Chain A
Amino acid sequence: MATISTAFSIATGALDADQSALNIVANNTANANTPGYTREIPNWEQNDSVSLNGVSYGMGASVTRSESQRSLVLERAMQQQTQTESASSARLTALNQMQALFSGATSAGTDTSTASGIGSDLTNFFDSLSSLEGSPSDDAQREQVLSTAGTLASDFNSAASQLGSQQESLDEQSASLVGQANTLLTSIAQLNIEIESTSPTADAGTLEDQRQEDLTQLSQLIGINEITTENNGLSITTPGGALLVSGGQASPITTGLSGGVTHFYDAEGNDITGDLTAGGGELGGILTVRDQDIPQAESALDTLAYAVASTINTLNQGGTDLNGSPGSSIFGLPAGASAANPAGSASGITVLMTDPSEIAAAASGQGSSDNTNAVAMARAGQSAIVNGITPTAYFSDFVTTFGSLVSEVSGENTAQQAALTQLQNQIGSLSGVDLNEEAAQLETLEQSYQAASKLFTILDQVMVSALNLGVETSYT
Chain B
Amino acid sequence: MRVNPQYMTNLVGSLDATSSTEQRLTEELASGSQVNALSDSPIAAGENVLLSAQIGSDDSFSQTASSTTSMLQVSDSTLGSVVSQLTTAISLATEANNGTLNSSDLQSISQQLAGIRDEVVSLANSTYLGNFVFSGSQGSTAPYSLDTSSSPAVATYNGDTDVDWLETPTGQKIQLNVPGSQVFSAAGTDVLGTLNALVADFSSGIAAPTAVTDTQALSSALNYVSQQRVVIDNSISRLTAAENYTQSEATQLTAVQTNLLQADAGQIATQLSTAETQQTALSQVIATLGRQSLFNDL
Using a CB–CB distance below 8 Å, which chain A residues touch chain B? 95-96, 99-100, 102-103, 105-108, 110, 119-120, 122-124, 126-128, 130-131, 133-138, 362, 366-372, 375, 378-379, 381-382, 392-393, 395-397, 399-404, 406-407, 410, 421, 424-430, 432-437, 439-440, 442-443
Contact = CB atoms under 8 A, between A and B. Distances in A.
27 contacts: A96-B39, A103-B38, A106-B37, A106-B45, A124-B56, A127-B57, A127-B60, A127-B61, A130-B61, A134-B65, A137-B140, A367-B137, A367-B160, A367-B162, A369-B138, A369-B164, A371-B164, A371-B166, A392-B49, A397-B46, A399-B38, A425-B3, A429-B3, A429-B5, A432-B5, A433-B5, A436-B295
B291 interface: no
B4 A425 contact: yes
Contact of B139 (A119, A126, A137): A137
A108 B52 contact: yes
Interface stretch (B108-116, B128-136, B182-190, B216-224): B128-136
B13 interface: yes
A370 B162 contact: yes
Contacts of B37: 96, 99-100, 103, 106, 403, 406
Most buried by A among B49, B140, B166: B49
Most buried by A among B1, B13, B67, B164: B164
Interface in B248-263: 254, 257-258, 261
B5 A362 contact: no
A367 B50 contact: no
Contact of A435 (B46, B135, B169, B294): B294
Sorted nearest first, the 5 A-B pairs with minimum C-beta distance are A403-B42, A369-B139, A428-B4, A400-B46, A403-B38
The main secondary structure of chain A at its interface with chain B is helix
A227 to B, nearest CB: 29
Contact of B5 (A95, A105, A366, A428): A428
A403 B46 contact: yes
Given A366-B160, A404-B42, 17 more contacts: A96-B39, A102-B38, A106-B48, A107-B261, A108-B33, A120-B56, A127-B60, A134-B65, A137-B131, A367-B136, A369-B132, A381-B57, A382-B171, A402-B38, A406-B42, A435-B294, A437-B5
B298 A403 contact: no
B43 interface: yes
B120 to A, nearest CB: 21
A137 B44 CA distance: 39
Contacts of A395: 49
Contact of A368 (B56, B67, B140): B140
Contacts of B164: 133, 136, 369-372
Contacts of A106: 33, 35-38, 40, 44-45, 48, 261
Contacts of A435: 5, 293-295
A150 to B, nearest CB: 18
A456 B171 CA distance: 107
Nearest to B171: A382
B167 A406 contact: no
Contacts of B64: 130-131, 133-134
A68 B118 CA distance: 114
A379 B169 CA distance: 9
A440 B167 contact: no
B47 to A, nearest CB: 7
Nearest to A127: B60
A399 B228 CA distance: 49
A29 to B, nearest CB: 8
B96 to A, nearest CB: 39
Contact of A369 (B13, B33, B135): B135
Contacts of B165: 371, 375
A443 B136 CA distance: 107
B63 A421 contact: no
Contacts of B48: 105-108
B138 A368 contact: yes
B67 A135 contact: yes
A119 B41 contact: no
B42 A421 contact: no
Contacts of A122: 53
B247 interface: no
B131 A406 contact: no
A401 B140 CA distance: 50
Contacts of A393: 50
B295 A378 contact: no
B115 to A, nearest CB: 29
Interface in B9-48: 10, 13, 33, 35-48
A436 B47 CA distance: 57
A392 B46 contact: no
Contacts of A440: 294
Contacts of B159: 367
B6 to A, nearest CB: 5
B153 interface: no
A62 to B, nearest CB: 26
B35 A399 contact: no
B240 interface: no
Contacts of A443: 298
A212 to B, nearest CB: 16
A123 B257 contact: no
A367 B56 contact: no
A24 B120 CA distance: 116
B166 A133 contact: yes
B55 to A, nearest CB: 9
Most buried by A among B4, B141, B162, B294: B4
Given A123-B56, A135-B67, A399 B46 contact: yes
Contacts of B211: none
A102 B48 CA distance: 12
A136 B137 CA distance: 10
A436 B293 contact: yes
Contacts of A108: 33, 48, 52, 254, 257-258, 261
Nearest to B31: A107
B63 A131 contact: yes
A234 to B, nearest CB: 26
A369 B131 contact: yes
A129 B284 CA distance: 63
Contacts of A127: 56-57, 60-61
Nearest to A102: B38
Contacts of A110: 52, 56
B68 interface: yes
B124 interface: no
B161 to A, nearest CB: 10
